[in-house]
Amino acid sequence: MKNQYVILTGGKNNAGDFLIKYRAKKLFENIREDRKIIDLNAWEKFDKDQLKIVNESKALILMGGPSLQKDMYPGIYKLTEKLEDINPPIISMGIGWKSISGTWRDTYEYPFSNNSLKFLDRINNSGYLSSVRDYHSLNSLRFNGFEKFLMTGCPAYYDFNSLNKDIITPNIRKVSFSLGVSFIESKSMERVMKDNILKCRDIFQDKDFEVVFHHSLNRDTFLSTHNATSIHVEMHNRFANWLEEHNIKYVDISGSAENLMNYYSNVDLHIGYRVHAHIFMNSISKFSILISEDGRSKATKDVIGGIVLDGYFSFKDTFLSKVISKFCKTFDRFEANEYLSKELRSNLLYEKNIDYTRIKNSRKMIDNNFEIMKKFLKQLP
């Protein structure tokens, strides 16, 4: 075997996926410099040459993202038709669950297909510890009988220039609001999202304020990188049109980790729905308020503390609600948090009054979690 790892990553056009890949490679570069990293697309099936590369490697590592899903294999990871064709240990690094309702109760009976259970059993019995990005994901695995996992946090949390250093006391000049995706299917979430953008514009009228898109607004670019219907990009462009009508600036940072890092490095306060905007801002010890629209957001609070506000109270996830929503497009499965604007303003004032204590606490939690990440990386083959 060669001194190399193959990592499977998910970067298409979502800026957050590229950040995971970028930061993961930096982790290997600093902690496992003895291993060469070969990056393959997670969503593609291995061809003959790729399988040969995998089988010459010390490990096949599944990298980041919400890939811990019911149809994890072969839905998320195509790999090969027969897992036995893969020789090295298969190990996960910072993967996470995907649940819209996102309650802790959801972790007790988190569903996996039979193929995914066999796949997870292969990972669990690899002879090495694997990792997940939050405690909700960890509990989902434990309640399915898989114990050989650590909670390391997402690779994107770790910036080597910021670890174990004091936070940057905010001097707020530039404020960015990251747009979520729940508005595509929910009128109540769209209404609350727009209301909060307008409120933030008013609060920060003397600041540089703009809205940020993490997915491409270019139709051809988006559809060339996603197996999705055009409604996603159409709704995003309608939202962009609404912003123009209200004279609110916006920017598209999709396509690379550099776009995300360069952009948010010049932001003093992030507010919004994008988990990896929140993760990046916290990773460089800057002020961020995350608004939850699914379980990935909610799980973040247990990992690094900080400020995570509920964007919704509940989500209808019954079989009947799924059927109704399929045939009735006006049926709203979300119950949006109508108090969010008031809560957001309150948290902004409160954090300033307590000298940004929650940002400081998040910094400490990231630094502590990094010790677990190092333990995970050092025990890899």
Per-block average pLDDT, block size 10, for the chain (381 residues)? 94 80 96 97 94 98 93 96 97 96 95 97 98 98 98 97 89 96 94 96 96 86 64 89 97 90 96 96 96 96 96 90 83 94 94 92 97 98 97
Contact 94, 152 (CB under 8 A): yes
**The pair of three-digit structure tokens given for residue 191, joined into one six-digit string:** 């209404």
Instruction: Note the residue count of the chain.
Output: 381
Q: So where are the chain's domains?
A: 4-158+367-378, 174-364
CATH 3.40.50 fits 174-364, yes or no: yes
pLDDT at 257: 86
Query: According to the model, what pLDDT value does residue 229 have?
Result: 66
Predicted confidence at residue 82, as pLDDT, reads 95
- Structural contact between residues 130 and 92, judged by C-beta atoms closer than 8 angstroms: yes
Q: What is the CA radius of gyration of the chain?
A: 21
Using an 8 Å Cβ cutoff, are 38 and 7 in contact?
Answer: yes
Beta strand 287-292 pairing with 307-310: parallel
The string of pLDDT tens digits covering residues 6-36 is: 999 987 757 788 899 999 999 999 999 999 9
Spatial strand order of the sheet with 59-63 comes to: 36-41, 4-9, 59-63, 90-93
pTM, two decimals, is 0.94
4-158+367-378 domain in CATH 3.30.70? no
Are residues 5 and 128 in contact, defined by beta-carbon separation less than 8 angstroms? no
| Equal fold, 4-158+367-378 vs 174-364 | yes
Give me the amino acid identity at 59: A
Give the pLDDT confidence score for residue 308 in this predicted structure. 97
